[in-house]
Amino acid sequence: MKTLHEAQNKMAKSISFKIIVIGILGLLLLIPAGMIQGLIRERQQMRDEVVQEISDKWGNSQEITGPVLAIPWFEYIQDQGKIQKVTRLLYILPETLEVKGEINPEIRYRGIYKVVVYGSDIKIKGNFLIPSIEQLKIDPKNIDWSNAFISLGIPDMRGIQNEILINWEDDEYHVEPGTRVTFIRSGISSNITINEQKKNYHFQFDLLLNGSQHLYFTPVGKITNVHLTSTWNNPSFTGSYLPDHREVSNTGFVADWQVLHLNRNYPQVWKNSIYTLSPSNFGIDLLLPVDEYQKSYRSTKYAIMFIGLTFIIFLFMEIINKKRIHPIQYLLVSAGLLIFYTLLLSLSEQLGFNLAYLISGIAIVGLTSYYASTIFGTLKLTLIVGSTITLLYIFLFTILQLQDYALLLGSIGLFMVLAIIMYLSRKIDWYQDEDNSKKLKNTN
């Protein structure tokens, strides 16, 4: 029994054994940290479902494609010894396309969740040039000018808020649902009048369109100019082309694009072939600032670092000040650090991330400092623990606020922490447990 008691006492005082136990605890704590990340993803999925529900009622993301001019023509083919008349379409894109849009954003709420929706007032104008039919190797007699039509792609028709009238060479034409072309799945179309002797046609129309989060355009013009204004002050310019000019301020943004037909991978005129236009889209995303779920999830990635550094702080206190800390006490401290993330998630849904972080940080620092005071029994050591953990939370908050420089600051911070640990541990005799063991044997 005496030998067993001595072995237990030796293990309790062994630095190496304590480090192994702490390391195992740290690895085991990765399991609840992963569960917290799963909880964050679950809450984010619930938010996304609410966003989709609101968008379905107001209007989903919009992607305006066109207008595209389509002119039917006939082709005679031989099939099993018979001559058949087949209708084809000649597709013509605008020579110039001018788009001016004003976007009026709103934030809609459903419980604790919110989504950005918008109403837009878009004015579109331009002109079409009818190409030489002979150069396209089409018999002019086979052109059906009377059934020409133009099509405009609008993904979510529920967002249309006005009766669209197309002004075509000073004549107005009503539109009907359906694009009548295969490469634009959803939208409107209208028959228009074309005189085969006339080559240049001007058009213009206004579009009041509701949507949510995104608004994109397809540069179908030989020269496409898009001018957008909005009171939204956190836009993300995305797609195949960035604005040539943009101004973003606290009162909103102004952005201008100019895209040439040489910048995209489909022609101005084609027949028979089918091209995909969507890869050339560009536009804006009306982003909410980095939301609480993204920041909460990013913060959990530093959980193991927080737990490890806190364990190191307590281990140094134990070695330098000869204060024995039980593994259960390490476990309780780490449990408090993990509860920080659940507090942060739940409070951020109600109060916003910054205020939630402040409240959660104060609560956990206070709890850990109080518990440290019961372990060490001195104000000095308690203040060291509390101030060190406070610095860690300030460091984490700074990293979460920086998106572009988060990796750089995190790497520099970890380097400094490692340097401090190496400096403080330079005089620690890591073999003192072996020396004590040898002294015990010599005494016996």
What pLDDT shows up at residue 7?
46
CB atoms closer than 10 angstroms to residue 68: 25
| pLDDT value, residue 43 | 79
Domain ranges of the chain: 2-45+293-443, 61-288
Which is it for strands 223-230 and 252-260: parallel, antiparallel or unpaired? antiparallel
pLDDT, one tens digit per residue, over 206-256 is 999 999 888 999 999 999 999 999 999 888 899 999 999 999 998 999 999
Question: How far is 425 from 431, CA to CA, in rounded Å?
Answer: 13
pLDDT, position 225: 97
In this structure, what token pair is assigned to residue 28? 């085991």
pTM (2 decimals)? 0.69
| Ramachandran quadrant class, 355 (left: phi over 0; alpha: psi -120 to 50; beta: rest) | alpha
- Are the C-beta atoms of 194 and 148 separated by less than 8 Å? yes
83 membership: H or E segment, kind and range: strand 82-92
**Helix, strand, or coil here: 382?**
helix
What's the pLDDT score for residue 305?
75
Contact 291, 114 (CB under 8 A): no
| Residue spans of the chain under pLDDT 70 | 1-19, 26, 81, 111, 289-291, 320-322, 403-407, 409-410, 413-414, 417-418, 421, 423-444
Give the distance from CA 72 to its chain's centroid. 43
**What is the pLDDT at residue 299?**
79
